[in-house]
Structure 1
């Protein structure tokens, strides 16, 4: 179980971000759910990028849990950044009457 803990933590990152997008989405049709899942996976790639950058700067870690937690942190940062970007973008749009 200890060997697979890092994998489970890493795989929970896109599930959590996709769940966040689905929860925030006003529509529940198949198109919106698929777009939320794709956004979650793209945020996972951002988490990989942030984790890789931190590991490049600091160096390798002894425990595999630390890079997994870095991936989760990076995914959370990408999800929050994308959420605030969408919120700011929708606030700037004027309603059409």
Structure 2
């Protein structure tokens, strides 16, 4: 258990940050799932618009430090490739 006031404060802070970051990751996952569901249904127009919405979300995740930049690039690249393959 933490003994110093600073250690106690870090525990409180880490709990708050974990909640915020978890919400950010969940939001990104939701946007990615929208693209994947549009791909599964074969709707290129919906998939394209969902892909356009997912890109800034991935970049925001990178900027906020919840995603590595290569992870975001890989996800966006694979989604883009899948949307392009629909036509």
The question of a shared fold, defined as TM-score above 0.5 by the shorter chain, is answered with no
TM-score normalised by L of structure 1: 0.32
**Which structure's CA Rg is the greater one?**
2
TM-score normalised by L of structure 2: 0.35
